A and B are shown apart, each in its own frame.
Chain A
C-alpha cells in the first residue's frame, strides 16, 4: 500500500476530475509497493483503461 500521504495527495491533485485515472495510478503504485509483478497487475489495468477509452 502507498502509505505516504504526500504521494497520495499529489496523485489526487494531478488526476483531479479523472477518478478512473486516480484509481489506476494508485492501484499501480499500490501493486508496485507490494512487489506485485507489473505484468500481472499493472499491464492488465492499463489495457482495461485503454479499452474503456474506446
Chain B
C-alpha cells in the first residue's frame, strides 16, 4: 500500500497544497518533504489523519485552538460575504492493485470558525479493470480503517518524539504485543478462532434445540399406521362378511320364495299350541276347583232340606212363643212338695196334683227339646246360608270354564287353519331354519354396518392423527438432517479451528524470534558503535531488552538517538516480519541523530524504500549535505521543498 498523492485545501496553513508521491519502478519509493520548522510538515501528517479518522494526533495545543480552516481563506470569505468556507483533504492511495481516493470535507463558518461542524468522508475505489465503487459515511470509515488500521497507525505514522518514547506503553493505543499481533495478522488468527468457537457453540445449540426424538415420532407413526391397517382390515372383513351375508340372503330369498309366511305360520302355530296348552291347563284347574267346591258343599247341600225345615220349625215355634218354654219345673216341684200353689197358697187338690205331675213330666221333655233347638238354631241357619252360596260359586266356575273352553276353541280353530297351511309346505323345518338364518344374517349385517361406521370414524380420526404424526416425523427427520448438517459443520469448524490455533501458536513464536533477529539486524546497521550491544530480547509481552557486551540490560541508559534507532529497527523488523505492506511516514526522523548515525539512518531508510514507500519530512538541518547526497545523488526519489508566504499563513511547495 502506498500514498500516491495528497491534496489539502484550506486546512490550516495549507490553502492549496498538492503533494504527489510518484512511483518509479525499480527506483526508491522515497519521498522527502523539506521545510523549516513551523512551515506545516507535521500538519501534513495531521491532514492525513484528519482525512482518514477525523483526528489530529500530532497537533500542538496552539494548533488545536486555531480554526481548522486557513485563516487567509476565512478573511477573504468574510470580506466576500461567504457564510462558510470549505476545508478538504483528498488522499489518493493504491492498495492491492486498487486505487482508493479518500475525501473528507467540512464547511467552516466564516463568522464562527471554531464552531463544531460535522465533516463528511467518502471514498471511491477504482480497480485496475472495473467499475468504481463509491462509499460514504460508515462504509467509507470502514474502508479507511481497513486500509490504515487506526489501532496501529503509530507504526506507520510517527515522529521523532514517538521514536524516542516508542517502547513506553502508555503512549500507545495498543501494547507492542497487540500491535505486533495486529500488524503480523496474528490477531486475524485470534479473531478467526473466536468466530469459529462461536460458530461451534452455535452448532451445539442448534443440535441441542432440534432434539429430534426421531425414534419416538417414528414409533408413533408406526403405531398409528398399524392401527389404521388393522381397522381397514377389520372393515374389509366386515364388508366381506356383509357381502357374503348379502349373497347368502339372496340364496335364502330364492329358497324362501313362496314360503315367506311359513316360518311365521310355524312360529304362530307353536305359539297357539302353547296357548292352547295353557288354556287346557287352566281348564283342568277350573275342573279341580269345581270338584273341590262340590266336595265342600256336599254335606251342606245334603243337609239343606233338613236344616231348612228345622230352621223354619224353630222360627215357627218362636213366632208362636213356644220357644223358649215358659214353665218352670222347679216351681212345680216346690208346689207338689208343699201341697199348695206356690203363687196363690191354695192347697193342691189331687187332680191339681196329678195335673201338676203330668205338667212336670211334659215340661221336662219340652224344655230339653226347646233348649236343644235354641242351641242349634244359629248353626242351622249358618249352614243354610252357606248352602245357598253354592249356586253362585258353581255358576262363576262354570262361566269361567265356559270362557276357557270358548277361547280354547277359538285358538284351536286358528291353530287348525295354520296347521292346514303348514301341511301344504313340504319342509317347514328347513324353511324356518332358512328364515332364521336370513334374520340372523340381516341382524349381523346391521351390526356389521354399525361397526363399519364406527371403524370408519375411528379410521378418520386415526388418519388425522397419522397426518399430524407424519408431519411431526417429517419435521423430526428434517431436524435430524439439520442436526446431521450441524454436526458436520461443527466437525469442519473444529478442524479449521485446530489448524488456526496451531498456526497461531507457531507463528507467534516464529514472529517473536524473527522480530528479535531482524530488530538486531537493523539496529546493527543503523548504529555506528557496532560492538556495544550484543543481543536484543523480546519477552512474551514483547517488552524489549537490549543487552550490552557485558550481558547487561541497558535500554534505560541508551541515548535518545539510540532509542530512536532501536524504535526504527523494531518498526522495520515488524513491517518485514509481518509482511505488512503499509508505508512509513516519519516526521523529522533524524532530528536527534547526528554524524555517522544520521548517515546510517538515511541509508537504512533509503534501502527500506526499495521495499516500501517512505515519506519523510525533514528540516533543513536534517537535510544535511551527506543526507542530501545519500537521498538524491544516484537514486531517483521525489523531493518537495515547502515554505510559507510572507504572511506565514500559506504553504508554498516546490518540487525538485
B613 to chain A, nearest CB (A): 15
Asked if B485 lies at the interface with its beta carbon under 8 angstroms from chain A, I say yes
- Which among A10, A38, A54 is the interface contact of B502 at CB below 8 angstroms? A10
Describe A's contact surface by its main secondary structure.
Answer: helix
CB 8 Å contact bits of B466-501 with A (1 = contact, 0 = none): 000000000000000000010011011101100110
In this complex, what residue of B is CB-closest to A10? B503
Is B189's CB under 8 angstroms from A7's CB? Answer: yes
CB 8 Å contact bits of A30-54 with B (1 = contact, 0 = none): 0011110010001100110111011
Is A35's CB under 8 angstroms from B499's CB? Answer: no
Asked if B511 lies at the interface with its beta carbon under 8 angstroms from chain A, I say yes
Is B580's CB under 8 angstroms from A29's CB? Answer: no
Other than the known A25-B499, A50-B488, what 4 A-B pairs have Cβ atoms closer than 8 Å? A14-B502, A32-B188, A35-B142, A46-B489
Asked if B96 lies at the interface with its beta carbon under 8 angstroms from chain A, I say yes
Q: Given A4-B578, A25-B500: A49 and B192 within 8 A (CB)?
A: no
CB 8 Å contact bits of B384-403 with A (1 = contact, 0 = none): 00000000000000000000
B95 to chain A, nearest CB (A): 10
Asked if B145 lies at the interface with its beta carbon under 8 angstroms from chain A, I say yes
Is B492's CB under 8 angstroms from A7's CB? Answer: no
Is A33's CB under 8 angstroms from B499's CB? Answer: no
Number of A residues near B (Cβ < 8 Å) is 30
Residues of A within 8 A of B506 (CB): 6, 10
Q: How far is the CA of A6 from the CA of B195 in the complex (A)?
A: 22
Residues of B within 8 A of A34 (CB): 146
Residues of A within 8 A of B496 (CB): 21, 24-25, 28, 46
Chain B CB count within 10 A is highest, among A6, A11, A14, for: A6
> Mind listing 30 A-B residue pairs with CB under 8 Å?
A1-B96, A2-B188, A3-B580, A4-B184, A4-B186, A4-B507, A4-B579, A5-B579, A6-B507, A6-B511, A6-B579, A7-B185, A7-B188, A10-B507, A14-B499, A24-B492, A25-B499, A25-B500, A28-B496, A29-B192, A33-B185, A33-B188, A35-B145, A38-B198, A46-B489, A47-B489, A50-B491, A51-B488, A53-B491, A54-B488
Number of B residues near A (Cβ < 8 Å) is 37
Asked if B199 lies at the interface with its beta carbon under 8 angstroms from chain A, I say yes
- Which among B489, B500, B511 is the interface contact of A50 at CB below 8 angstroms? B489
Q: How far is the CA of A14 from the CA of B510 in the complex (A)?
A: 16
Q: How far is the CA of A5 from the CA of B579 in the complex (A)?
A: 7
B496 to chain A, nearest CB (A): 5
Q: How far is the CA of A43 from the CA of B514 in the complex (A)?
A: 34
Q: How far is the CA of A42 from the CA of B195 in the complex (A)?
A: 9
B489 to chain A, nearest CB (A): 4
Q: Given A32-B191, A47-B485, A50-B492: A14 and B199 within 8 A (CB)?
A: no
Residues of B within 8 A of A43 (CB): 199
Is A21's CB under 8 angstroms from B142's CB? Answer: no
